[in-house]
Structures are given as structure tokens and as C-alpha cells.
């Protein structure tokens, strides 16, 4: 492989060991690329934006990787119309809380003049990857990337107002930022595991969502083997 034009491998970035085990993966070393089979590898990043960006940046190679998928579980935001176990591919992954909380309201990095991406505070999912996932029944919606998950109704509604997202998670836009800077195609894929809002009233289905996550991993593995994501 001498350059990006030869790249065909799919890199899957997973945040936590719980999610990795749900995908049937062995104990992985953090920030180390683990080859699963020819054309497919995984990196365990750790949870959160800093860990995700560092983990992916430490292994991503435009000469080998055609695409990176950030795979994991996420929280259902108000008004999304989604249900537990639904699978969402990010039409865009949006930084939800990188900025300043001012007396007159929240101001994002893009508003402050420091946009992370060409599209401001968000990176679009690669259209070819999204189309292939839609063919399997995966929904394509906006996903918010947060540092603090929404444990109050007010916070959940604020994330929706800022981002227009249907789901929130903690890594996607950070992985997308690394992928964009390195010229590698990107999409975020999430399985809905819980509701957001008031922590005492949240609903969770970890067993069901993790089982579904394993199914999605096997789907990505099959599609990768067919050359559909490379």
C-alpha cells in the first residue's frame, strides 16, 4: 500500500470494553490497532472525546484505512421518535458543548470564530457509507457529541436545541475530526440503549442494546468483507 488511493481497510473505533465484548471481541489493548481479519481492524479508545480522538489518531493511516466507523451505544434525545434498540448512523456528528455558556446563552466554538470543521461544529457522515447502511434498514439522523450526558430534562432539551440531534454519545465528532484531518471517510453508528433527561426517570436496556450492538458489528464485518465500506 503506497498511498491513500490504495486504502481499503475499515477501522472500527469502540470506546469501552463493555461495547467491545458485546461485539465478541477479545480484551483489547487501548490505543492499539487490533486486526480482526483482512480488511478489518478495531481500536479501543476509551470513553470521551479526548480518549477517542487520541486513540484514533494514534493508529489511523490514510494509506491503509479507507474508512473509520465510530461504533457504540447512545442515549435517545427528546422528540427523536426512536425506540430502545434502534440503530442510527450519523448524517452529521455535532459537538454539542464545545464553547462558552454566556449570560445571553450558549456560544459554540464556530460562533466564537474557532470552527472545528468546514461545516462549523459538525462533520457530515460519508454519504457512501450512509447509503450502504440505509440499505440494511439503519436510520440516518444527527448525533450529538457531549462531554456531559443529559441527566436532566433541561439539559436534554438544550442539546436538541443546539444540535437538532436524535441521539447523544461521547465520542463521534471527535473521531470524525481526526478522520477529516487525515482524509479518511467517516460515519458514527449508535444503538439506542437509554433515554436521556431526568436521571431518576431514565429507561435503560443495556442487555438488549449490547446484543443489538453485536449484530451491528457483524453487519459491518460482513459489509466490509464484501468491499461495501472500503
Instruction: Check whether 4 has a pLDDT greater than 50.
Output: no
State the average pLDDT over residues 147-172: 98
pLDDT band at 81 (very low <50, low <70, confident <90, very high): very high
For the stretch 121-144, pLDDT in tens is 999 999 999 999 999 999 999 999
- Quick check: 3 pLDDT over 70? no
Within 62-164, residue ranges assigned H as helices are: 127-134, 153-163
What does the buried/exposed string (b/e) look like for 122-152 if buried means 16 or more CB atoms within 10 Å of the residue's CB?
Answer: bbbbbeebbebbeeeebbbbbbbbbeebbee
Confidence of residue 118 (pLDDT cuts 50, 70, 90): confident
Q: What is the pTM of this model?
A: 0.94
Query: What mean pLDDT is predicted for residues 32-37?
Result: 96
31 is written with which cell numbers?
Answer: 490505543
3-state secondary structure of 198: coil
Given a contact cutoff of 8 angstroms between Cβ atoms, the answer to whether 88 and 169 are in contact is no
The residues pairing with 35 across neighbouring beta strands, listed in sequence order, are 41
pLDDT band at 228 (very low <50, low <70, confident <90, very high): low
Looking only at the bridges linking them, the beta strands covering 185-195 and 65-76 are: parallel
Q: What is the pLDDT of residues 92-113, one digit of tens each?
A: 999 999 999 999 999 999 999 9
Domains in the chain with CATH codes: 4-225 (3.40.50.1580)
pLDDT at position 223 is: 86
C-alpha span between 29 and 26 (Å, rounded): 10
Amino acid at each position: 500500500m503506497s498511498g491513500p488511493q490504495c486504502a481499503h481497510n475499515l477501522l472500527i473505533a469502540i470506546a469501552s470494553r463493555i461495547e467491545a465484548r458485546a461485539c465478541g471481541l477479545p480484551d483489547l489493548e487501548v490505543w492499539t490497532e487490533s486486526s480482526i481479519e483482512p480488511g478489518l481492524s478495531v481500536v479501543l479508545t476509551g470513553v470521551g472525546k479526548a480518549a477517542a480522538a487520541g486513540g484514533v489518531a494514534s493508529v489511523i493511516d490514510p494509506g491503509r484505512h479507507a474508512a473509520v466507523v465510530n461504533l457504540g451505544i447512545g442515549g435517545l434525545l427528546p422528540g427523536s421518535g426512536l425506540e430502545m434498540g434502534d440503530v442510527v448512523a450519523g448524517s452529521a456528528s455535532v459537538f454539542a458543548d464545545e464553547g462558552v455558556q454566556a449570560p445571553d446563552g450558549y456560544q459554540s466554538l464556530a460562533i466564537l470564530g474557532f470552527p472545528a470543521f468546514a461545516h462549523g461544529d459538525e462533520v457530515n457522515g460519508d454519504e457512501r457509507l450512509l447509503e450502504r447502511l440505509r440499505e440494511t434498514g439503519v436510520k440516518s439522523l444527527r448525533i450529538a457529541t457531549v462531554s456531559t450526558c443529559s441527566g436532566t430534562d433541561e439539559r436534554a432539551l438544550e442539546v436538541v436545541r443546539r444540535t437538532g440531534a436524535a441521539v447523544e454519545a461521547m465520542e463521534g465528532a471527535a473521531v470524525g475530526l481526526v478522520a477529516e484531518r487525515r482524509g479518511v471517510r467517516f460515519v458514527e453508528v449508535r444503538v439506542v440503549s437509554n433515554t436521556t433527561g431526568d436521571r431518576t426517570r431514565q429507561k435503560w436496556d443495556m442487555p438488549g442494546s449490547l446484543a443489538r450492538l453485536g449484530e451491528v458489528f457483524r453487519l459491518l464485518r460482513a459489509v466490509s468483507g464484501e468491499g461495501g465500506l472500503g
